[in-house]
Copies of this chain bind each other. A is one copy, B any other.
Amino acid sequence: MRAETPTPVPVRPSVLVRDSDEPTAAALIAAAVEVMARNGYHGTSVRDIASAAGTSAAVLYHHFESKQRLLVTICDRGLDVLIHATEEAHDLAGPDPADRLRAIVGAHVGVHLDSQRESLIGNSEIRALEPAGRALIVAKRDVQQRIFDRVIRDGMRRLVFATGHPEDAARFVTAACTSVASWYHPDGPLGRNELIERYQAIALDAVGHR
């Protein structure tokens, strides 16, 4: 039976920035997210970021050791938010694999809608990361992926899911859910929660639920 309240995890858009003591650093991160989501890492200059934040490039270098470090920060915090939200949703769901899949799909899609720009950057700018940072980010992405793997494998074991290829289905589902960040428009016809519910349903179909 369906969980009564799929309640997708609410993620404030400002999480990424919230705990920065220095408001300037926060403004710089917000500005970087804004402009990098639009033009990409290499398409964004340090001056672009600074002027979007209302300061100068020199100030940026006072808060971040490099443009690269700023990217790592954005990706890292974004993935922390994603993983945390997904794990929390998983843990709050009951033991039913279907409920669990609904929960983590809800969290994953929810974060990709609420932190759309951060997610976009986190997915498309990995290639712009230098090796050290890239390793970190890729590892965290694997953590997220493995949450899906586990839930689906668990559902197979309990005969709640029935897909011929659990790992591929997990990848299939996360990719589809991740992609919402690249096309969703909050002012469009589809409400956030409605979209989440639909993707939850489709994901369950994709893993052969029932």
Interface residues, chain A, with chain B CB atoms under 8 Å away? 38-43, 124, 127-128, 163-165, 168-169, 171-173, 175-176, 178-179, 183, 195, 198-199, 201-203, 205-208
Contacts and interface: CB of A to CB of B under 8 A. Distances in A.
Contacts of A127: 38-40, 43
- Pick from A38, A178, A198 the residue with the most CB of B within 10 Å: A198
A152 to B, nearest CB: 11
5 contacts: A40-B42, A43-B128, A172-B202, A205-B205, A206-B206
Contacts of A199: 168, 172
A1 to B, nearest CB: 16
What does DSSP make chain A's interface, helix, strand, loop or mixed?
helix
Contacts of A201: 163-165
Contacts of A163: 201-202, 205
A171 to B, nearest CB: 8
B202 A168 contact: yes
- Pick from A43, A127, A171, A202 the residue with the most CB of B within 10 Å: A202
Nearest to A164: B201
Contacts of A203: 172
Contact of A205 (B183, B198, B208): B208
A42 B35 CA distance: 14
A168 B198 contact: yes
